[in-house]
Amino acid sequence: MSEPQLRVSGNILSITVPFAMKRHGGKKYILLPKNIALHNPDAKPDETMVKALARAWMWQKALDSGKY
């Protein structure tokens, strides 16, 4: 995975954080690169946000492949 990137173009701020999405036992997980440290390692991920990211990734993959 590549490094996180920060870009500013006019009034637009773009932050790119590489991550991988995996499933284990029916649950969805976000895997960050090993070089990214979390500020609060005890924090729990927002399950709604994880589901939204998984669905967005699925739809983007379907759109890119021409399925939809």
What is the value of pTM for the model shown?
0.44
Q: In the predicted model, what is the mean pLDDT of the chain?
A: 81
Q: How many CB atoms lie within 10 A of CB 27?
A: 9
Q: How far apart are CA 39 and CA 50, in angstroms?
A: 19
Confidence of residue 1 (pLDDT cuts 50, 70, 90): low
Query: Please, which residues have CB within 8 angstroms of residue 68's CB and are 6 or more apart in sequence?
Result: 59, 62
pLDDT 10s digits, 29-39: 777 777 777 67
As a residue count, the chain comes to: 68
DSSP 42: T
Average pLDDT score over residue span 13-22: 81
Q: Which of the listed ranges 2-6, 7-11, 17-21, 29-33 does the model predict with the highest average pLDDT?
A: 7-11
pLDDT 10s digits, 40-53: 767 777 888 888 88
